[in-house]
């Protein structure tokens, strides 16, 4: 196939179940042929190999209405390219090669597809394509025959992400949001986010125990629902408690109209765009600056995972992109703010949301604070990403590109929330815990989240 004249293996790697896996070199008696093959490998760059695979996929797509067909014994799919795993290109022996590619189908599911190739330079053909993983979950693994050193596939009876914090499909639980008003010696103002139903979560507010001064408001840009309170010394020590019944389904890419660029390409106070963020994004993308937003977003996603460390040290937790860029550390707010600044700087619409992640390995108890995530817009869909979780659990890095698990609740969306009544300090950065203002300054409120799963 002429489009493969540059597709020659470059590296022989060892692969693990949690990454893209490839068979190792097969033992051969034809030493001279192997030597010749490896000499040819030295003449080819990773960029040439990747471009060759992309050329092949694009050629096939042009003949199939813009989609790349993949068929094996269990799948018949039409897909688009997300990325080529150049780190996993391998030589299986003379004239036999392996590559691994991420492709996305029309529903937004991400498939890891193994490509097997035969032939000499300039005359290489794809002999088979096999779906290896769906949203990061493998269908099979590789094992080596001890006698002849050849490799063969081994099916996996079960692959469960539960212990890595993921509930797939659907989850149902009660979520308890509690806070205690501190001792007040003067008037104060308080804002609390109210979770609402959408296409992925059904919310029922079962119990509302709050001060009588409650007033329901919405922010001007994102439509978040909030409770607002005027407080005084008489409210000191009162407990606020909201009890929700939550039915949530796993979130994948979903169709949506073109988003408002004034919201989703704009700078915010702690998520600036342009400047060094544009420089970093363009340098990271390289030649991929001409690729689709889907491919570009995956490159930026990988850049954040590879270059940041999840660490609650220093001035973390504000969602400050400059802090994330300088320190390369932070919690979920820094990971996703940095990603959004990079994405928006190269015209990829992106947005921020916050709530809580419910433990998957038990059915009740406390929750370790808030959790936040992001979405970007490409190919007519919003794509969920959770980069800090992908960083902590590299086995799920593919899953979290395009997926949010069912075991979470979203409390609010957006940054720099514009409210009426508004805090004297201006727009609220983001909102999960109660925001209490006394004398024009924010005061922390003792807050806690807990849950009980409905089937416990």
3-state secondary structure the chain: CHHHCCCCCCCCCCCCCCCCCCCCCCCCCCHHHHHHHHHHHCCCCHHHHHHHHHHHHHHHHHCCCCCEEEECCCCEEEEEEEEECHHHCEEEECCEEEEEEEEEECCCCEEEEEEEEECCCCCCEEEEEEEEEECCEECEEEEECCCCCCEEEEECCCCCCHHHCCCCCEEEEEEEEEEECCCCCCCEEEEEEECCCCCCEEEEEEEEECCCCCEEEECCCCCCEEEEEEECHHHCCCEEEEEEEEEEECECCEECCCCCHHHHCCCCCCCCCCHHHHHHHHHHHHHHHHCCHHHHHHHHHHHHHHHCEECCCCCCCCCCHHHHHHHCEECHHHHHHHHHHHHHHCCCCEEEEEEEECCCCCCEEEECCCEEEEEEEECCEEEEECHHHHHHCHHHCCCCECCECCCEEEEEECCCECCCCCCCCCCECCCCCCEEEECCEEECCEEEEEEEECCC
Q: Which domains does the chain have, with CATH numbers?
A: 2-159 (no CATH), 163-456 (3.10.620.30)
If the chain, 456 residues long, is cut into consecutive pieces of 10 residues, what is the mean pLDDT of each piece?
Answer: 34 33 39 42 49 75 84 76 68 67 82 75 69 76 62 62 81 97 97 98 97 95 97 96 98 97 97 98 96 96 95 93 97 98 98 96 89 97 97 88 97 98 97 97 95 81
User: Which pLDDT score is estimated for 23?
Assistant: 40
User: Which pLDDT score is estimated for 138?
Assistant: 74
User: Which pLDDT score is estimated for 390?
Assistant: 93
Whether 406 and 167 have beta carbons less than 8 Å apart is answered as yes
Distances from the Cα of 455 to the Cα of 121, 171, 364, 422, 444, angstroms: 58, 9, 10, 41, 34
Whether 329 and 316 have beta carbons less than 8 Å apart is answered as yes
User: Which pLDDT score is estimated for 72?
Assistant: 67
User: Which pLDDT score is estimated for 361?
Assistant: 81
């Amino acid at each position: 196939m002429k489009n493969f004249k540059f597709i020659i293996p470059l590296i022989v790697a060892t692969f693990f179940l949690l990454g893209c896996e490839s068979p190792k070199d097969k033992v051969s008696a034809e030493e001279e042929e192997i030597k010749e093959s490896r000499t040819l490998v030295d003449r080819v760059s990773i960029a040439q190999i990747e471009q060759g695979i992309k050329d092949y996929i694009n050629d096939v797509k042009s003949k199939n209405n813009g989609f790349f067909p993949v068929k094996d014994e269990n799948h018949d799919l039409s897909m688009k390219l997300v990325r080529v795993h150049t780190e996993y290109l391998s030589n299986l022996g003379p004239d036999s090669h392996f590559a691994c590619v991420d492709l996305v189908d029309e529903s937004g599911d991400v498939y890891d597809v193994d490509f097997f190739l035969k032939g000499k330079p300039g005359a290489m053909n794809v002999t088979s394509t096999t779906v290896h993983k769906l949203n990061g979950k493998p269908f099979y693994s590789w094992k080596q025959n001890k006698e002849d050193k050849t490799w063969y596939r081994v099916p996996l009876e079960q692959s469960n992400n539960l212990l890595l914090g993921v509930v797939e499909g659907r989850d149902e639980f009660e979520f308890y949001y509690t806070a205690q008003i501190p001792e007040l010696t003067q008037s104060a103002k308080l804002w609390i986010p109210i979770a609402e139903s959408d296409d992925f979560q059904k919310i029922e507010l079962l119990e509302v125990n709050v001060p009588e001064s409650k007033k329901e408001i919405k922010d001007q840009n994102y439509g978040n629902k909030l409770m607002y309170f005027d407080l005084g010394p008489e409210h000191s020590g009162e407990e606020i408690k909201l009890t929700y019944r939550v039915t949530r389904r796993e979130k994948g890419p979903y169709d949506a109209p073109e988003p408002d660029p004034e919201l989703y390409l704009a700078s915010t106070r702690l998520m600036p765009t342009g400047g060094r963020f544009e420089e970093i994004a363009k340098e990271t993308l390289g030649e991929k600056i001409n690729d689709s937003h889907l491919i570009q977003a995956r490159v930026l996603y990988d850049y954040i995972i590879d270059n940041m460390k999840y660490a609650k040290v220093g001035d973390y937790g504000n969602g400050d992109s400059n802090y994330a860029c300088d320190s390369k550390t932070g919690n979920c707010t820094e990971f996703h703010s940095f990603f959004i600044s990079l994405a928006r700087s190269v015209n990829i619409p992106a947005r921020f949301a916050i709530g809580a992640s419910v433990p998957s390995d038990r059915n009740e108890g406390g929750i370790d604070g808030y959790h936040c995530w992001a979405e970007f817009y490409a190919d007519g869909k919003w794509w969920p990403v959770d980069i800090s979780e992908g960083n902590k659990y590299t086995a799920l890095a593919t899953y979290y590109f395009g997926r949010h698990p069912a075991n979470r609740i979203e409390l609010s969306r957006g940054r720099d929330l514009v409210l009426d009544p508004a805090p004297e300090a201006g727009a609220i950065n983001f909102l999960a815990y109660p925001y209490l203002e006394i004398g024009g300054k924010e005061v922390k409120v003792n807050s806690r989240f807990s849950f009980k799963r409905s089937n416990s």
